[in-house]
Amino acid sequence: MGTLPEGRQRVLVIDDFKAIRDIISKFFAHMGYSVVAADNGKEALGLFFDNPFSLVLTDLDMPEIDGLTLAFSIKQRYPHTPVVLITGSESEDIQKGLVDLIIPKPFKIKDLEQTAQRFLSKGKSVAAVASELSK
């Protein structure tokens, strides 16, 4: 589930801010993963249920469906799919049980690398990705 025929794992990135969505998407694409991006939870849920992903990274506060509702919906059908919440919210009521990891905003590239190492098979090194992104 969530792996393409050529063996690349699929990552779903959801954030209503295009700049953040693009940074995360480009990072994982340069790491060698197949990336699909969505700007809201409703769109993401449709994409996920059409073809499940190996990893989901989602913002918390979004229009249509928020990140926790999205995580709950994914976990109901695919409980082993890792869902990572990336949020600037410091709310105490974020239920970590619904997500596998919470990354606070502002995040660092190292946070994304550690996420890839934890939940996905090894991609490229951060040094290789940094070199490609600087071109």
pLDDT in tens, 77-133: 999 999 999 988 766 556 667 899 989 889 999 999 999 999 997 555 555 555 555
Neighbours of 42 (CB within 10 A): 16
Domain-located, residue 38: yes
Q: Is the pTM of this model over 0.95?
A: no
55 φ, ψ to 5°?
-155, 140
pLDDT in tens, 35-65: 999 999 999 999 999 998 999 999 999 988 9
Share of the chain residues as helix, strand and coil, in percent rounded to the nearest 5: 40, 20, 40
pLDDT band of residue 24 (cuts 50, 70, 90) is very high
The domain that holds 65 is classified in CATH as 3.40.50.2300
Domain-located, residue 43: yes
Q: Domains in the chain: how many in total?
A: 1
Spatial distance between the Cα atoms of 125 and 128, rounded to a whole number of angstroms: 5
E strand residue ranges, 25-127: 34-38, 55-59, 83-87, 101-104
